[in-house]
Amino acid sequence: MKVSDRDAVKRIKNGEIDYFSIIVDEYTPQIYRYVKSRLFQKLDVDDLVQNTFVSFYKAIQRFDESKPVLPYLFQIAKNELKMYFRSHKDAVSLDESLESKSEMDDFYTEDYSSVLEKLSGEQQNILQLLQEGYSYEEIAKKCKRPINTVRTIIRRTRLQVKELYEKA
Amino acid sequence: MKKLERKIINTVYTFETKKTVLELILRISSIIIVGFCGILLLVSILRQLIEQQTLDMLQLFKEDGEIIKEYIGDVINTLYEELPKHDVLILIILSVTLLLLVLFFIKNSGKIKNKIRSLRRYWKRY
């Protein structure tokens, strides 16, 4: 007899943990595909899928069983991916950054300045603020523009810079 | 995929086993500790009352109804004055806490029973 998600969640909440295997059997392939489409290392994919289900289990007492399970699982997987990417951000050690400083200086003096000249004043200004470490919100305040506009300008500027580099 | 599913289930069961054991230990030990403290306090209050001979006043209830009616007010007043009020207050708080702990335990006992049954079944299999 097939047990619905709603019944399974109700029973899990009541302590019948066996029913969690129904949820795992049903949704692992979908969550796995979703995570795999964004990550390529199999071990990490497995870990993230596992974390997704364990997080769901930990939060199951707060979960409203009248709502579908899959979107909730996707949301958890999305958050897990966010955390994964945040923790795997490329970090440059201080020594390494000092060593490469001279190369970066050349880059800024030659190519970079010629690329910058081709951008509009506002784009140059925003790019400068970004380099100085301002957040999007702070840049929006400084430039007196809505934050979404700033986001759009930054996205377009990045594309433009990329294109200019490719041409160069 | 089956291997991953088994791994997920195993992680969930391991987590739940630890959680349930910890929960049981905490609940039972807190009931025992609060109960034990309550009994100790009750014994100490009773001993104090016996030493003060306050409890002798309760002999009044062996008398006729009319005498009881006449003196009951005085007896209650004296009892109230001679009671160690701080200790009694702590005893009341402990009793209420114990009652709540036991009620929560009884309320969740079905869920805990189901969990233990599921966990036993799973760990027996593996």
- Which pLDDT does position A111 carry in this prediction? 57
Looking at A74-78, B64-68, B80-84, B101-105, which range is the least confident one? B64-68
- Which pLDDT does position A109 carry in this prediction? 44
Architecture of domain A94-167: Orthogonal Bundle (1.10)
Q: Is the CB of residue B4 less than 8 Å away from at least one CB of chain A? A: yes
Which among A123-132, B30-39, B42-51 has the top mean pLDDT? B30-39
Q: What is the pLDDT of residues B51-86, one digit of tens each?
A: 888 777 777 777 777 777 788 888 888 888 888 889
Task: Kindly determine whether residue A15 and residue B110, on different chains, have CB atoms separated by under 8 Å.
Answer: yes
CA-CA distance, A128 to B6, in Å (whole number)? 51
Both tokens of residue B32?
Answer: 């025992």
| DSSP SS3 for B78 | helix
Closest to B4 in 3D by CA, of A49, A70, A78: A49
- Which pLDDT does position A112 carry in this prediction? 62
Task: Kindly determine whether residue A25 and residue B111, on different chains, have CB atoms separated by under 8 Å.
Answer: no
Note which residues in 103-142 of chain A have CB less than 8 A from chain B.
none
Residues of A in contact with B8 (CB under 8 A): 24, 28, 49-50, 53-54
**Model confidence at A113: pLDDT above 70:** no
- Which pLDDT does position A168 carry in this prediction? 64
Q: Which residues contact A54 (CB under 8 A, 6 or more apart)?
A: B8, B11, B12, B15
Give the start-to-end residue ranges of the domains of chain B: 7-52+88-125
What is the ipTM metric for this complex?
Answer: 0.74
**Model confidence at B41: pLDDT above 90:** yes
Give the start-to-end residue ranges of the domains of chain A: 5-87, 94-167
Structure-derived torsion over alpha carbons of residues A137, A138, A142, A145, reported in degrees to the nearest 10: 0
Sign of CA dihedral A151, A155, A156, A158: positive
| Domain covering A5-87 assigned CATH 1.10.1740.10 in the classification | yes
Q: Which residue has the higher pLDDT, A110 or B12?
A: B12
CA-CA distance, B88 to B113, in Å (whole number)? 36
